[in-house]
Amino acid sequence: TPTRPVPSYIQRPDYADHPLGMSESEQALKGTFQIKVLSSEDIEGMRLVCRLAREVLDVAAMMVKAGVTTEEIDHAVHLACIARNCYPSPLNYYNFPKSCCTSVNEVICHGIPDRRPLQEGDIVNVDITVYRNGYHGDLNETFYVGEVDEGAKRLVQTTYECLMQAIDAVKPGVRYRELGNIIQKHAQANGFSVVRSYCGHGIHKLFHTAPNVPHYAKNKAVGVMKPGHVFTIEPMICEGGWQDETWPDGWTAVTRDGKRSAQFEHTLLVTDTGCEILTRRLDSIHPHFMSQ
């Protein structure tokens, strides 16, 4: 389906009009490990954009039902972004063709919305990033489509617990590499594996930047948390093996064994005493799957 237009009055990230969707600002910092400490102005910008990203994800959540296509979810997400004067960050990022990622069952991440209707028993992750006033806010949740089997419930519940246990450890002085130990320990205790190819990341004026935040144990991530750091944690947890492959579309990452994978993500601000979950729900303490 054709690329959805974004009105010209909405501020666009640098890659939006690049023929290859390349972010010159990100490329300039590629390979550097320095983590930006955000100013109070930056932090306010991140609070706003993350709140708006949450609102957009909540719009998507209302649409997840058997018979609905991921294309229809993407359309609603696109309109919800524009209604909030936001650019949908995935759109044309390295030529990604849509305004959000929708990852069903064995898709680990970066699924491209399409015309396949969701089916009863599926699990689907919707990953939202929005851009406003020069800042990106990023989150995702995995949803149930109608009634799902016990295996799906265990996988989704455990994945959410992995994220929250990692978030509980975030505070100044903690090494970024420690988060993977926490996540893998909980995943493995429940008989699940942790994807190794995709990581959490720093985010602010850049969509993806330092630090790199692997979700698996004994990783070599560089850096120590300091107040003013902003980054995502977004574990992808699998029923079977952790190995992934990418479809010929160049984006869709799937489990090699075809078993299901789930994911949850928040954007976090390190504070003096711990962290602030910038993408938290304001109307509930629970993710959507708990009330599905």
Report pLDDT for 59.
99
Domain annotation covers residue 109: yes
Report pLDDT for 135.
99
- 169: domain CATH number is 3.90.230.10
Decide: helix, strand or coil at residue 201.
strand
Domain annotation covers residue 14: no
Report pLDDT for 1.
79
Structural contact between residues 162 and 187, judged by C-beta atoms closer than 8 angstroms: yes
Average of pLDDT values for 126-132?
99
The total of structural domains in the chain comes to: 1
Interstrand relation of 87-88 and 261-263 (parallel, antiparallel or unpaired): unpaired
Structural contact between residues 226 and 35, judged by C-beta atoms closer than 8 angstroms: yes
Domain annotation covers residue 19: no
**For 23-78, what is each residue's pLDDT tens digit?**
999 999 998 999 999 999 999 999 999 999 999 999 999 999 999 999 999 999 99
Supply the range of the domain harboring residue 208: 25-290
Domain annotation covers residue 122: yes
Partners of residue 232 on adjacent β-strands: 267
Domain annotation covers residue 257: yes
Distance (Å, rounded) from C-alpha 152 to C-alpha 65? Answer: 16
Place of tokens 């932090």: 43
Average of pLDDT values for 185-211?
99
Band (pLDDT 50/70/90 cuts) for residue 2 is: confident
Report pLDDT for 152.
99
Q: For residue 260, what are the CA distances in angstroms to 49, 110, 122, 195, 291?
A: 31, 14, 10, 12, 21
Domain annotation covers residue 16: no
Domain annotation covers residue 10: no
pTM beyond 0.95, yes or no: yes
Report pLDDT for 162.
99
Structural contact between residues 233 and 213, judged by C-beta atoms closer than 8 angstroms: yes
Domain annotation covers residue 82: yes
Percentage of the chain beyond pLDDT 90 is: 98
- Mean pLDDT rounded to a whole number for the chain: 98
